[in-house]
Amino acid sequence: MTNEEHSALMADMKSFDEQMPSIGIFWYDPKEHSFFGVYKKELTPKMVEDAAVKGMPFINYPKLHRQVWKEEYFRAVATHQPTKFKGDYTQIPRGRVSWNIDKFIVLVGAWAHDVQDELSELVQQEFALPYFEFVYDEHWDLGHGWSGDF
């Protein structure tokens, strides 16, 4: 096989390795203009079809931000590693990517208005979303979370 044939074959194989769109959660670091604490799960067409058949077209990542925050905090403490997962998880900009009937939605708080263009690019890259819309909700505002948290 020639180098050209090998390169063409590798390019063909790479096209099958593209990331499927994902649902998940993230935190946004405004100082670094990047995500951290990204947890995600690929969303397949079968998952969408199965949810629709069951009459449950909203598909969500199964873990809550507060659960992940605690897990990451205690992992860092146990291994004596520095971590961004300390303090109140609701004081760091965060969001959730979900599937709702026929589209991806990104649930965020008012904090996202000023960085929406940057956030759009990060969401598209990290979650491989072909399209999505932002849904703003008070729950995702800084300082808001589940009742009884902190």
Q: Is residue 121, in this structure, part of any structural domain at all?
A: yes
Compute the distance between CA of residue 56 and CA of residue 52 in angstroms, rounded to an integer.
6
| Residue 34 included in any domain | yes
DSSP summary character for residue 35: E
Q: Is residue 47 part of a domain?
A: yes
CA 80, 82, 85, 87: dihedral to nearest 10 degrees? 90
What mean pLDDT, rounded, does the chain reach?
A: 89
In this prediction, residue 145 has a pLDDT band, given cuts at 50, 70 and 90, of confident
Encode pLDDT of 46-61 as tens digits. Answer: 999 998 888 888 999 9
Residue 147 covered by a domain: no
Judge whether 33 lies within some domain.
yes
| Chain segment 85-142, per-residue pLDDT in tens | 999 999 999 999 999 988 999 999 999 999 999 999 999 999 999 899 999 999 999 9
Q: How many CB atoms lie within 10 A of CB 67?
A: 13
pLDDT value for 102: 87
Rounded CA-CA distance 124/112 in Å is 15
- Do the domain assignments include residue 74? yes
Confidence (pLDDT) at 150: 46
Q: What residues make up the domain containing 60?
A: 28-140
Q: What is the DSSP letter of 134?
A: E
What total number of domains does the chain contain? 1
5 is a domain residue: no
Within a domain: residue 85?
yes
